[in-house]
Structure 1
Amino acid sequence: MTDAIGSAGLDLALLAWASPAYPVGAFAYSHGVEWAVESGDITDGESLHAWLTDILTAGSGRNDAILFVAAWQAARRDPAALTDIAELAIALAGASERRLESLQQGAGFLAATRAAWPSPKLEACAAAFGADTVYSVCFAAAVAARGLSLRPALDIYLSTFLSNIVSAAVRLSTIGQTEGQKIIARLSTAIGPLADAVEHATLDDLGGHAFRADLAALHHETQYSRLFRS
């Protein structure tokens, strides 16, 4: 793997996977933010920051982090255990669009990674969970298959997750690009503590109370005018 290690010791594959250029189709999804903007829940940078903080600490962001940890552990020790984790991850999707968002990004990530960064361990993981697997599980399995540590991979995954949503808000003209970067910088201070908190979590710790974000995912399905698929 030394051919893909940067001078600071960070695996360059991990940077590629987190890049906006990686073909997971994240640009097509807003994670319910489009409806939140339409309904007036998000009107500026402060309200977007508050919304994303709730998602990160009490909603899908936190659950994705827990699933990431479980999938990374299973991929290292017993790839067959990924089957149950993947099924649970799909069942946690609270709306059809949320399910579509996660599954299609997972499928895109898995297809690109198997083609560009192939490994027998990744193939063993893919055999366990199949092509229809949520993004967080696919990402974590690829990290483990490449022999990478849980951290900073989890931090990078969460940063990518939030950056994609901020990008959607920018394209909705709710905030500008500079404001978007300020929000990402502010949110980055919450990623480390969350990753610390869930690093030793189990699937029993799944759950949340970001109900307004879940409602946004449901309402977006019938939103009259929209740019995004979720």
Structure 2
Amino acid sequence: MHATALLHLLQFASPALPIGAYSYSQGLEAALEAGTVRNADTARAWIARQLREVMAQWEAPVCWRLMRAFQQRDAQAVALWSERFLASRDTAEFRAETLQMGFSLSRLTAELGIADAAVIAMLPAESELALPVAYACAVAALDIPHAEALLAMLFAWAENQVLVCVKSVPLGQVAGQRMLLSLRPELEAAALHAQRLAEEDLSNWAPGLSLLSMRHEVQYSRLYRS
């Protein structure tokens, strides 16, 4: 991987990227409230299961297809997978999360001037711009290899989940880093699975997570927006 592409990837997959990722828990805070996640072992089990059953089955395969569509300048494929991803957001919080972060990332990409007009023209309207679409656009603009970009996306997701656990379980900083390190095999497996998954096998079936997200909308005390 070329050094320039690696540096671009490190920047755009960083938690420091100003798109608001730190303000979302993606249902994890509701799982903490319900007692499903209560210590290091249950936190790791939650993250690993969501990685295997949600991220590897839907989020990552969709992102993979979007990156390929941008590379091939296939605007129809971008529109198709954008529409399908938004349709898969089955709670108000999940939908608001991806739209807010997608909007923020697209604005950042535009303000940094890293994408040419042809790439920008493939984006959906700002009001309907999901995060994976904006991420795939940035990957295309910066000429980042797709396999590395996909793995970085999954790592950034896992890192954010671990940070939620560090703050809210709570876990110590070392315990959090130990957990993140232990997730390496699952992250690698999820990335490979996402690249090989046939279109008819994609699935966002996670009713338990959806119910927790709905509960979070009316949760009395919370730190996160999802």
Shift of residue 17, structure 1, vs aligned partner: 0.7
Residue 122 (structure 1) aligned to one of 108, 119, 123: 119
Aligned CA distance change for structure 1 residues 222 and 82 (closer, same or farther; 3 Å): same
Structure 1 range deviating more: 207-216 or 157-166: 207-216
Question: Hey, what does 1:67 align to over in structure 2?
Answer: 62
Q: 1:34 to 1:210 in 2, by over 3 A?
A: same
2:203 matched to which residue of 1?
207
Choose the corresponding residue for 2:89, options 82, 93, 117: 93
Runs of 4 or more, structure 1, over 4 Å off, are none
CA distance in 2, matches of 1:157, 1:15: 10
Q: Secondary structure of the residue that 2:36 maps to in structure 1?
A: coil
How far 1:46 moved relative to its partner?
A: 0.8
SS at match of 1:31: coil
What is the root-mean-square deviation of aligned Cα atoms in Å?
A: 1.8
Residue 56 in structure 1 maps to residue 61 in structure 2: no
Summarize the Cα distance change of 1:206–1:42 in structure 2 as closer, same or farther, 3 Å threshold. same
Moved more, 10-19 or 140-149: 140-149
Find the partner of 1:30 among 25, 30, 34: 25
Amino acid paired to 1:63: W
Q: Which digits, 9 at most, give the CA deviation of each residue in 1:102-133, with x for residues without a partner?
A: 1111111111122114221431332xx22232
Q: Distance in 2 between matches of 1:94 and 1:177?
A: 33
Shift of residue 68, structure 1, vs aligned partner? 0.6
C-alpha change, 1:122 and 1:32, in structure 2 (3 Å) is same
Aligned residues: 222
Deviations 1:74-93 (A, max 9, x none): 11111332111111100101
- Residue 48 of structure 2 is aligned to residue 47 of structure 1: no
1:14 alignment partner AA: L
- Ranges in structure 1 where 5+ consecutive residues have no aligned partner: none
Measure how far apart 1:173 and its partner are: 4.1
User: Are 1:157 and 2:153 counterparts?
Assistant: yes
Residue 22 of structure 1: how far off its partner (Å): 0.7
Cα deviation for residue 174 of structure 1 reads 2.4
For structure 2, the residue ranges without an aligned partner over 5 or more in a row are: none
* Partners of 1:103 and 1:133 within 8 A in 2: yes
Q: Which amino acid aligns with 1:197?
A: H
Q: Which moved more, 1:205-214 or 1:11-20?
A: 205-214
* Contact residue 59 and residue 208 of structure 1 kept, 8 A: yes
SS of aligned partner of 2:90: coil
Cα offset for 1:228? 0.9
Relative to the length of structure 2, the TM-score reads 0.91
One-letter code of the match for 1:47?
T
Would you say the 8 A contact 1:71–1:140 is kept in 2? Answer: yes
Whether the 8 Å contact between 1:86 and 1:134 is mirrored in structure 2 is yes
Q: 2:205 aligned with 1:218, yes or no?
A: no
Between the aligned partners of 1:44 and 1:71, the Cα distance in structure 2 is 36
For residue 170 of structure 2, give the secondary structure of its aligned residue in structure 1: coil
3-state SS of the aligned residue for 2:143?
coil
Aligned equivalents of 2:137 and 2:197: distance in 1? 17
Is the 8 Å Cα contact of residues 44 and 175 (structure 1) preserved in structure 2? yes
Aligned equivalent of 2:138:
142
Question: CA-to-partner distance for each residue in 1:206-229, whole Å, 9 max, x for gaps?
Answer: 214543222211110111111111
TM-score by length of 1: 0.89
Question: Sequence identity of aligned pairs in percent?
Answer: 29
